[in-house]
Amino acid sequence: MASDGKKKKSGGGKKKRAELAARLDALQAEVATLDAALRELAPEPAASAPVAPPAPTAKPAKAAPQVSPLAPAAFPALPPVAGVRFAAGEAGVRYKGRKDVMLAMLAAGSVVTGVFTRSSTRAAPVRWCETLRDAPGVKGAQAILVNSGNANAFTGRSGAEAVEALAAAVSAATGAPKSGVWMASTGVIGEALPHERIAARLDELNGALSEDAGESAARAIMTTDTFPKGASEVLALDGAKVTIAGFAKGSGMIAPDMATMLGFVFTDAAIDRDLLRRMLAEASDRSFNAITVDSDTSTSDTVLVAATGKAAMDPIASRRDPRAAAFAEALERVLRDLAQQIVRDGEGATKLVAVTVTGAKSARAAKKVGLAIANSPLVKTAIAGEDPNWGRIVMAVGKSGEVADRDLLSIRFGDITVAEAGWVSPGYQEADGAAYMKRDELEIGVDLGVGTGSATVWTCDLTKRYIEINADYRS
């Protein structure tokens, strides 16, 4: 009987364990269900199983940036420029799933010149282009190669070697001499340029060249830009049709001298190279060098102008030529249009602001005062908050270091006189100023009352979005 008793006890224990195991399985299933529900609400890696960091080369997908509210309705229809062809492709320099390299080919006989950043930490491509600009021009075909995602700046010997290697690769692919290969890079500073990836795409780019690929080329050079930027002018010079067309990129690190901006302008005009260089420098001072987003000057700023000479005209050889002024004015309009689009695309910008200073000792002094206002974080954040805080403009004028007379100073918002004769204007109403500040495009006027110098600069507001974009730039 004893043995029978042991068997019954053992059988009962097995049954109990089975019941407990079933209950445990049910509880575990319920826990798993609840855990899954929690993960859907607030996903996070389990503490007991940490997620391994991504490989260094893997870049998490980012949502497309929201297009600036100040952007034009669409990219303009750029007219073809005789003697110029473009192609764009994906080299995977930094970005995945988008074009990041642009090749422009210029017909034999073209002249090219440029203006560049004055930064003491200029990028390797900038130094290369400065050498080309100061050397005798080439007679054969020329090329412009641009990549985005990597600035090839502060990269030591490897940066210069990358430029040399790419110049040789472009020459081999296109037939242009190395001395006729211009380059520009934009993107992250301090990382070696994976130039082999670019070189591997050159044959493909050379085979895809087209005079109608301007927009594709403009998109390929974008970094934090939210829209591509293009502009053009068509004019008649002594009965000859002349076209000027170009594109640019830039959104942050925008401040004279130029900024993190690249600009490429093409014309079929026939013009002397040295004269074109002087015209470009003067026009840049009143356009690309008169804009600011954040007062930071880039290592990579480059503006190139190429003239193919394909228009049916005799060359413009000097300033005395009556056609020179008309061409210079049209060139400046194109550059100013591109420059203002860069400000419209200022990182996080919601307002475009023109600051005009008059009554200064000189044009140089007026521009310096204008930039002091345009670069002031206090002024820019007040604009973002739609606060007509004109006292901050008074502050910025005072800190500029230029001559100003408190009792002669006047300030206006658009047509509204805010302050004059050293005090708030008797007719000024704060409500009028607040209503004006709600506009997307603003004009701030300052008269110093001490001379005849004047200048206009362009800027944008400074918002929380600017911080978010730049805090997340490399992540």
* Element holding 405 (H helix, E strand): none
- Per the CB < 8 A criterion, the answer to whether 403 and 357 are in contact is no
Catalytic site includes residue 260: yes
Confirm or deny that 249 is annotated as ligand binding. Answer: yes
- Per the CB < 8 A criterion, the answer to whether 417 and 426 are in contact is no
Q: In Å, how far from its chain's centre is CA 213?
A: 20
Residues 428, 249: Cα–Cα separation, whole Å: 40
Among 113, 260, 297, 459, the active-site one is 260
Name the amino acid, one letter, at 368: K
Confirm or deny that 475 is annotated as ligand binding. Answer: yes
Confirm or deny that 120 is annotated as ligand binding. Answer: no
* Element holding 147 (H helix, E strand): strand 142-150
**Hey, how many other C-beta atoms are within 10 angstroms of the C-beta on 13?**
10
Q: Is residue 203 classed as helix, strand or coil in its secondary structure?
A: helix
For residue 471, give both structure tokens: 């805090």
What's the residue count for the chain?
475
* Element holding 196 (H helix, E strand): helix 195-199
Confirm or deny that 347 is annotated as ligand binding. Answer: yes
Residues 221, 89: Cα–Cα separation, whole Å: 10
Confirm or deny that 470 is annotated as ligand binding. Answer: yes
Going from the C-alpha of 326 to that of each of 305, 329, 332, 449, the distances in angstroms are: 17, 5, 10, 33
Residues annotated within the binding site are 223, 249, 260, 347, 470, 475
Catalytic residues: 260
Residue ranges at the known binding site for substrate: 223, 249, 260, 347, 470, 475
